[in-house]
Structure 1
Amino acid sequence: MIIYKTFSFDAAHYLPHVPAGHKCGRMHGHTYSLKVFITGDPEPHSGWVMDYTDLKNGISPLIEILDHKVLNDIPGLENPTSEQLSIWLWNKIKPVFPGLSRIELNETPSSGVIYEG
């Protein structure tokens, strides 16, 4: 079974490795949507794969690191493409939630990345 929870945060960034004059080379911001998927079997007593509150409490410190920040200033995110941000998030979440099976990160309602480790 797979459960998920969605989080959002606002952050600014610029992409230092795009061609000269590319609009994403300038500072700009997004309202990101992060969906975290956990795979597991429901525990017989509770019937849950995990408590959504536990998932929220585990992810919230990461959201605090990112929310209303310049992503380029965060160690490990000097080139903060959605792809790189997804890898960064995966590497932070997987040790806390071994059942992590997928991350979906949208930087706009119509653009995003799916990362499965």
Structure 2
Amino acid sequence: MILYKQFTFDSAHFLSRVPDGHKCKAIHGHTYHLTVYAEGDVKEQEGWVFDFGDMTSVVKPIIETLDHAMLNNIEGLENPTAELLAVWLWKKIKPELPALSKIELKETPTSGVIYEGD
């Protein structure tokens, strides 16, 4: 079974590696929407795969480091594209949530990435 939990955070960034004149080269911000997916079997005793609160306790502290922050100033996010931010999030979440199967990160309501690990 696949479970998911959604989170949001607001961050600023700029993409220093894009060509001059590209609108993303300037500092701008997004309200990111992160969906974390995890897989497992339903445990007979509890009737669930695991507690959604466990997902929150793993993801929330990570999101708090990004919320209202300049992403370019966070170690490992010097060029914070949606793709690289998704990989960064995966590397932070996966060790604490081994059942993680994919993450979906939306930069805007119509644009985002889905990452399923290496």
TM-score by length of 2: 0.98
Q: Pairwise CA RMSD of aligned residues?
A: 0.4
Q: Which portions of structure 1, spanning 4 or more consecutive aligned residues, are displaced by more than 2 angstroms?
A: none
2:26 maps to which residue? Answer: 26
Query: In the comparison of the two structures, how many residue pairs are matched?
Result: 117
Q: Which residue of 2 aligns with 1:67?
A: 67
What residue number does 1:95 align with?
A: 95
SS of the residue aligned with 2:32? strand
Q: What are the Cα deviations for residues 31-88 of structure 1, in whole angstroms up to 9, with x where unaligned?
A: 0000000000011101111101111111110011000000000000000000000000
Match of 1:54 in 2: 54
SS of the aligned residue for 2:19 comes to: coil
Instruction: Tell me, in whole angstroms, the C-alpha distance in 2 between the residues paired with 1:99 and 1:53.
Output: 14
- 1:112 is displaced (CA, Å) by 0.1
**Structure 1 equivalent of residue 108 of structure 2:** 108
Instruction: Give, in whole Å, the separation in 1 of the partners of 2:43 and 2:80.
Output: 37
SS in structure 2 opposite 1:47?
coil
Aligned to 2:76: 76
Give the alignment's TM-score, normalised by structure 1.
Answer: 0.99
Residue 62 of structure 2 aligns with an amino acid whose one-letter code is: L
Partner residue, 1:85:
85
Question: What fraction of aligned residue pairs are identical, expressed as a percent?
Answer: 60
User: Structure 1: any 5+ residue segments left out of the alignment?
Assistant: none
2:35 corresponds to which residue? 35
Q: Secondary structure at the match of 1:53?
A: helix
